[in-house]
Amino acid sequence: MYFILFADDSNVFYSHACLDTLYKNVNEELKLIAQWFHANKLSLNLEKTNYILFKSPRKKCPTELPRISIEGTQITQVVSTKFLGVYIDQHLSWKEHIKNISIKIAKNIGILSRISLLVPPSIRKILYYTLVYPYLTYCNIIWSSTYKSNLTRLVVLQKRAVRYVARVPYGAHTKSIFTEFQFLRLVQIRLVQIGEFMFRYEHGLLPPTFNNFFRPSSTIHTHQTRGSNQYYKPFAHTNTRLFSIRYTGAQTWNDIPLVIKQLPNFCQFKKGFRHFVISNNVLELGSALSTSSS
């Protein structure tokens, strides 16, 4: 069992290979949790309490599932829920979150389109960073870890937004706009956030949970590698592993130029890596951070 507590929001995670055993264990643990709430004179809002059964889309569950209840009140099963501003679904596909922020971004692009004719480029740029960019960046390292097809809608919306910033015709190529205004593309936002995560890990700036999260390449083999701070990239035989930070983090850090990795503090690294990604039009994770001219 694993707990995540934030302010007045409590989350419990439990896993087991057997579905019946899982439900039985969860019900037993919830009895203890209810007792703890009473002992500490706290109340549990059962109307806002629900649970998600995380599973693979390919795995079928019985139509009649056991009940999960607290003090005789049945807990509602949901297929997605909002947690700290991110919508989490039962398959961890992030489709629900992407759908929700796409709706919000589309509405704000409507505002940007009406204002773009009335204000100069500097104000349009500020409006982009106010109305669109925050939705693309908030927890991007989490929800953008999915198939490219799931992100297509957001890619289209971002291009539409930057066209209004630059005041160019619908359908115009956006590569030069991203470069001119120094905007990060959606895939680049994730790349930069992974790089920042790895810099914090390299310098011990992450919570203790991540201690020894990555394995140095020197512990796997003895042949010479580029630099002394390379990490072992685990074999990914599933997309879940391929999307994980354990895989993408090691891959990204290994491919970042040594001169950038050796920058003395986080602010300089953040600025230097962002400039490197934009100036070289780095779009995808891969060997030597593959770039595109499209």
Question: Which pLDDT tens digit goes with each residue over 8-23?
Answer: 788 889 988 888 899 9
- Mean pLDDT score of the chain, rounded to an integer? 88
* Structural contact between residues 254 and 230, judged by C-beta atoms closer than 8 angstroms: yes
> What phi-psi label fits residue 45: left (phi over 0), alpha (psi between -120 and 50 degrees) or beta?
beta
Mean pLDDT of 94-120: 95
Among residues 262, 142, 234, 156, which one has the least CA distance to residue 190? 142
Q: What percent of the chain has pLDDT over 70?
A: 93
Note whether 68 and 104 are same-domain residues. Answer: no
Question: For residue 234, is it within any domain?
Answer: yes
Buried-exposed string 249-276: b where 16+ CB fall within 10 A, e elsewhere:
bbbbbbbbeeebbeeeeeeebeebbbeb
Element of type H or E holding 246:
helix 245-255
End-to-end CA distance of the chain: 47
- Between 283 and 69, where is the model more confident? 69
Q: Which phi and psi (to 5°) does residue 111 adopt?
A: -65, -45
Note whether 60 and 110 are same-domain residues. Answer: no
Residue 227 pLDDT level (bands cut at 50, 70, 90): very low
Note whether 159 and 235 are same-domain residues. Answer: no
* Structural contact between residues 177 and 275, judged by C-beta atoms closer than 8 angstroms: no
- Judged by average pLDDT, the poorest of 22-26, 57-61, 91-95 is 57-61
Note whether 206 and 243 are same-domain residues. Answer: yes
E strands in the chain = 2-6, 9-13, 50-51, 69-70, 73-74, 76-77, 80-83, 86-89
* Length of the chain counted residue by residue: 294
Question: For residue 288, is it within any domain?
Answer: no
Question: For residue 287, is it within any domain?
Answer: no
Question: For residue 124, is it within any domain?
Answer: yes
Question: For residue 233, is it within any domain?
Answer: yes
* Structural contact between residues 273 and 219, judged by C-beta atoms closer than 8 angstroms: no
Note whether 259 and 201 are same-domain residues. Answer: yes
* Structural contact between residues 246 and 214, judged by C-beta atoms closer than 8 angstroms: yes
Last residue of a domain, one of 156, 182, 208: 182
Residue 200 pLDDT level (bands cut at 50, 70, 90): very high
Note whether 205 and 171 are same-domain residues. Answer: no
Last residue of a domain, one of 182, 213, 233: 182
Split into its structural domains, the chain has a count of: 3
Note whether 224 and 178 are same-domain residues. Answer: no
DSSP state of 100: H
Note whether 41 and 108 are same-domain residues. Answer: no
Q: What percent of the chain has pLDDT over 90?
A: 59
Q: Which domain holds residue 72?
A: 2-78
Question: For residue 285, is it within any domain?
Answer: no
- Quote the pLDDT of residue 285: 57
- Between 161 and 225, where is the model more confident? 161
> In this structure, what token pair is assigned to residue 294?
């499209």
Note whether 193 and 218 are same-domain residues. Answer: yes
Has residue 119 got a pLDDT over 90? Answer: yes
Note whether 192 and 177 are same-domain residues. Answer: no
Note whether 170 and 249 are same-domain residues. Answer: no
With the C-alpha atoms ordered 138, 143, 147, 151, is the resulting torsion angle positive or negative?
negative
**pLDDT tens-digit map of 39-75:** 988 888 888 889 999 988 888 878 788 899 988 889 9
- Quote the pLDDT of residue 99: 96
- Quote the pLDDT of residue 225: 47
Question: For residue 85, is it within any domain?
Answer: no
- Quote the pLDDT of residue 110: 95
Question: For residue 71, is it within any domain?
Answer: yes
* Structural contact between residues 263 and 251, judged by C-beta atoms closer than 8 angstroms: no
Last residue of a domain, one of 182, 202, 226: 182
Residue 226 pLDDT level (bands cut at 50, 70, 90): very low
With the C-alpha atoms ordered 84, 89, 95, 100, is the resulting torsion angle positive or negative?
negative
Note whether 200 and 151 are same-domain residues. Answer: no
The residue assigned the tokens 């991203």 is: 178
- Quote the pLDDT of residue 222: 54
Mean pLDDT of 112-138: 95
Has residue 95 got a pLDDT over 60? Answer: yes
User: Which residue blocks in 91-244 are alpha helix, DSSP H?
Assistant: 95-115, 121-131, 133-137, 140-143, 148-166, 175-180, 186-202, 239-243
- Between 55 and 162, where is the model more confident? 162
